[in-house]
Amino acid sequence: MTATTAVLHSVSSLDAADGGPPLSVSRLCRELADLEGMSVSLVSQIETGRATISPGSPKVNLFLGEADRRGILRLPFRRALGRALSASAPSILHDHGIWLPPNHYVATIARRREIPLVIHPRGMLEPWALTHRGWKKRLALRLYQRRNLELAALFFVTAEQELESLRALGLKQPVAIVPNGVDLPPPPLAVERKAGLPRNLVFLGRIHPKKGLLDLVEAWSRVRPADWRLRFAGPDEGGHLTEVMRRVEVRDVRGSVEYVGVVEGATKTALFAGADLFVLPSYSENFGLVVAEALAHGVPVITTRATPWSGLASRGCGWWVEPTAEALAEGLRAAFALDPAALRVMGAKGREYAREFHWPTIARQTADVYRWVLGRGSKPACVVD
C-alpha cells in the first residue's frame, strides 16, 4: 500500500490584492488534494475581513491566523501553524515566498522538528526584486534569510531564469522547474465586433512599479493607434495608480486609456473575452500567471524579456520584447498592423500552448517531486541537480 504524502503549504496571504501567489497556491492545493495518496493542508494569515481567496475544495484543510489590521500578524500565524502541524502531522513543508515573518517562522519550525522543507521563492530572489528595497534584503540575508534558504531540501521555480537566479546566489540544492497552472475556459466564441467600436489592448495585474505601466503609457503615446483603446485593471498598490494616471494626462492619451478597477470572477472573464490583445510590460516576473490566463482565453500576448515567456514568439502567439518603452512601442506597432482574423489565429495557437499548463498536469508533477524528496519515488524529469 502506497504511503500517504501529507504536505502542509504555507503562504503569507490569501488576499487576491496581493497578486498571483494567493491564487496559484490555493489552486495548487485544490488540485493536489484530488490526487490519490495526497493529504493537503494550507496555513496562511489574513487581516480582518480580507480573505478573498480560499482553496475551494473541502479536501484541503485550511488554517488561518486572523488579526486586526492595527495589530501584528506574526502571532496569529504562529498559532495557526501550530494548529496545522498538530492536525496534519506533515511529512513535508512547502513554503511560498521569502522575506516575511511567516516564511522565517516556517523555516524555524522545519529546522526544529526536522521536517523536510521545500521553498517556492515566487520571484522574490529575481534581480529586480533583490534591488527593490535592497538594503533591507541584504541585511535579512545576513541575519537569517540565507540560513533559511540553505535549509531547503529543494526549491520549486516556475522557469529556468529563476533557476539561474538561485545558482547566482550560490544555492546548490536540487531545483524542480514546475510552472504555475491555468484553468482552460471554453473556447472563445467568434463574435464580429460592431463597426466603429475600438479594439482592446488589456493589462491585468497589480498597479505596481514592477509592472512597467509607465513604460506602457509611454509606448502607447508614441504609437497612438486610432482604432484601439488601452484598458488596464487590477488593485492599486502603494498609490501607484495616481502616478500612472498622471502620466496618461501628461502624454495626452486620456481619451484612449481606461482604468476599469479590480476584476474577479465573471468580470475578469468578461475582460479577457473583450480583449483583442494582452500586454504585460513587467520588469520582473518569475512566471506571469496572467500571460497563461490570456493564452487560455485565446488572446495573443505582448510581454517583456523580464518574464519567462520566450515561447510566445516560437509558438506564434505573441511578442517577447525588451522591457523598455521603445521596444514595447515596436511590439505594439507589429500587433496593430495585423487584422482581427490574424490575431484570432495567433490566439488559437496560444490556447494550444496553454494546455501545457493545465492544473491537473502541474499537480501531478508537484506530487512526484514530493515523493522523490521523501525517498518514495524516482527522480522526476523536472528536477535539476
DSSP 339-369: -HHHHHHHHHHHHHHHGGGBHHHHHHHHHHH
How confident is the model at residue 33, as a pLDDT? 96
- The answer to whether 95 touches 103, Cβ cutoff 8 Å, is yes
How confident is the model at residue 384, as a pLDDT? 96
How confident is the model at residue 3, as a pLDDT? 78
Name the β-bridge partners of 119: 95, 155
How confident is the model at residue 325, as a pLDDT? 98
Domain check: are 35 and 170 in the same one?
yes
Domain check: are 144 and 165 in the same one?
yes
Q: Is residue 134 part of a domain?
A: yes
Domain check: are 143 and 154 in the same one?
yes
Q: Is residue 305 part of a domain?
A: yes
Q: Is residue 193 part of a domain?
A: no
Q: Is residue 295 part of a domain?
A: yes
How confident is the model at residue 149, as a pLDDT? 96
SS3 117: strand
Where are any strands of DSSP class E within the chain?
5-13, 38-47, 61-67, 92-96, 117-120, 154-157, 175-177, 199-204, 228-233, 257-259, 277-280, 301-304, 318-321, 383-384
Domain check: are 371 and 280 in the same one?
no
356: region left, alpha or beta (phi > 0 left; psi from -120 to 50 alpha): alpha
Write down the pTM of the prediction.
0.83
Domain check: are 156 and 53 in the same one?
yes
The grid cell for 276 is 483583442
Q: Is residue 191 part of a domain?
A: no
Q: Is residue 187 part of a domain?
A: no
Q: Is residue 111 part of a domain?
A: yes
Q: How many helices (H) and strands (E) does the chain have?
A: 15, 14
Domain check: are 379 and 342 in the same one?
no
Greatest Cα pair distance in the chain: 68
Rounded to whole angstroms, what are the CA distances from 245 to 213, 239, 255? 10, 11, 12
Domain check: are 247 and 342 in the same one?
yes
SS3 176: strand
How confident is the model at residue 97, as a pLDDT? 94
Domain check: are 50 and 168 in the same one?
yes
Domain check: are 277 and 134 in the same one?
no
Q: Is residue 189 part of a domain?
A: no
Whole domain around residue 176: which residue ranges?
5-181+358-384
The alpha carbon of residue 375 and the mean position of all alpha carbons in its chain are separated, in whole angstroms, by 29
Domain check: are 27 and 111 in the same one?
yes
Exposed, middle or buried: residue 110 (CB in 10 Å: 0-12, 13-18, 19+)? Answer: buried
Q: What is the CATH number of the domain that holds 347?
A: 3.40.50.2000
The grid cell for 151 is 535549509
- The answer to whether 336 touches 329, Cβ cutoff 8 Å, is no
Domain check: are 15 and 144 in the same one?
yes
pLDDT, block means (10 residues), the chain with 385 residues: 86 81 92 95 79 80 75 73 95 95 94 97 89 88 93 95 93 96 81 76 95 98 94 94 97 96 92 96 92 96 95 97 98 96 96 94 97 96 95
| Separation between Cα atoms, residue 295 and residue 86, nearest integer Å | 41
DSSP at 141:
I
How confident is the model at residue 252, as a pLDDT? 96
The answer for residues whose C-beta is within 8 angstroms of residue 293's C-beta and 6 or more apart is: 182, 204, 272
How confident is the model at residue 211, as a pLDDT? 96
Q: Lay out the sheet containing 199-204: strands in order across.
A: 257-259, 228-233, 199-204, 277-280, 301-304, 318-321
- The answer to whether 43 touches 86, Cβ cutoff 8 Å, is no
Tally of structural domains, the chain: 2
Handedness of CA 244, 127, 123, 316 (dihedral sign): positive
| Nearest residue to 277 via CA among 219, 352, 350, 200 | 200
Domain check: are 256 and 108 in the same one?
no
